[in-house]
Homo-oligomer: A and B are copies of this chain.
Amino acid sequence: MTLKLDPWGHFAIESYEKLFSQFGIQPIDNNILSMLPQKHRFFSRKIIFGHRDFDKWLKAYKNGEKVAVLTGLMPSGHVHLGHLMVFEELRFYQEIGVHVSVAIADAEAYAVRRIPRKKLMEYAREYIMYAYAIGLDPKKTRIYFQTNSDTPYYRLIQMFSRKVSMAEMEAIYGELEPSKIVAAFTQVADILHLQLPEYGGYKWVLVPVGADQDPHLRLTRDIADRFENELGLKRPASTYHKFIRGLDGNKMSSSKPEYAIFLSDDEETIRSKVMKALTGGRATAEEQRKYGGEPWKCTVYDLYMYYLFEKEEDLETLYRDCLKGLILCGEDKRRAAKMLIEMIKEIQEKAREFKDVIEDYVEFPRF
């Protein structure tokens, strides 16, 4: 079983493999890894596992061209460890000197997810606060609301609708509603507007997203092609990350708060959630010592892999010890809880510094 040799969790990519074969997403391979100007565990562990044109983007970066990174945040619930990953990715690019833009997808949250505008603005405030706390520089990071952008951005939405048919959109999104159609073009405008001179003329834009966002990227690439002559638009590059699992083994989501770790959780809540997490342990301690654990099933292992262990050796050791039955779930969970609490406490302290200055940096919509 090859899984045993794979402490970086490549196994979980298998479910993503049709993305490679069916949609032409490229794997993050050694060539890409060698082009990265700086290492990051997300890449080495294949948490960021696939891409489109990332090699071209990295080359443009190396050649000193104007490069930018843009991603979207949907303010649809409290910030949890899944979002933290996105913030950290953005920080990575900002640290290597790339321009960073963040679209708050409030139009989509309102129109498609039907979150009241007041509520979503509260969520957005929380997102921004933690983004700063994770280390995104408020002065260098452009954060804007979809409904609070300006004229050329919206002109793109108006123009894009001309060159896409209903059949194409249905093929991508399934059953359509007017809100979905408007939201889709809005996302395309998010991704492409940085190329306009009004927004800096960044022709090399990288979009780091979860694998589920690829349909938007495909639509965006098609639209960029169709407006190549008229507006000089280029295809964006994109990278795809896996999702950290919730403590029940499914995708972490604010809709199942008991299985998500929120950045706003207090010490006791975090400890209690981690202690109840689904692991790859056996029915009894005895069996576990005998047969070993199954770390690829373990949501606590995910915590280590995504966040708690920076060093590859530490993760490798844990993986082997678990496989061999040298470590039991109880002690492993206690250590994870302790480390996680420390990490989150530090973030919360930083967040407090930014709580009241968010509006100095980001303009909120009036309504």
For A213, list chain B residues within 8 Å (CB). Answer: none
A230 to B164, CA, bound (A): 32
For A155, list chain B residues within 8 Å (CB). Answer: 107, 147-148, 365, 367
Question: Is A57's beta carbon under 8 Å from chain B?
Answer: no
Question: Is A151's beta carbon under 8 Å from chain B?
Answer: yes
A162→B114 contact, CB < 8 A: yes
Shortest A29–chain B CB gap in Å is 37
Shortest A91–chain B CB gap in Å is 29
Q: Given contacts A166-B176, A231-B367, is CB(A182)–CB(B154) below 8 Å?
A: no
For A179, list chain B residues within 8 Å (CB). Answer: 161-162
Q: Residue A185 contacts which of B162, B182, B367 (CB distance < 8 angstroms)?
A: B182
Contact flags A127-158 to B (C-beta < 8 A → 1, else 0): 00000000000000000001111111011011
Q: Residue A148 contacts which of B151, B162, B186 (CB distance < 8 angstroms)?
A: B151
B111→A159 contact, CB < 8 A: yes
B166→A182 contact, CB < 8 A: no
A256 to B362, CA, bound (A): 52
For A13, list chain B residues within 8 Å (CB). Answer: none
Q: Residue A178 contacts which of B147, B149, B152, B181 (CB distance < 8 angstroms)?
A: B181
A178→B186 contact, CB < 8 A: no
Interface size for A (C-beta < 8 A) is 39
Residue from A117, A146, A159, A165 with most neighbouring chain B CB atoms (10 Å): A159
Q: Given contacts A178-B181, A181-B181, A182-B182, is CB(A158)–CB(B162) below 8 Å?
A: no
B178→A166 contact, CB < 8 A: yes
Q: Given contacts A111-B159, A151-B148, A159-B147, is CB(A177)–CB(B182) below 8 Å?
A: no
User: 9 tightest A-B contacts by CB?
Assistant: A107-B158, A111-B162, A161-B182, A147-B155, A154-B154, A161-B179, A161-B178, A162-B179, A147-B158
Q: With A110-B158, A158-B186, A161-B177 given, can you name 9 additional A-B contacts, CB distance below 8 Å?
A: A107-B158, A112-B162, A117-B159, A148-B155, A152-B366, A161-B179, A161-B182, A165-B178, A182-B182
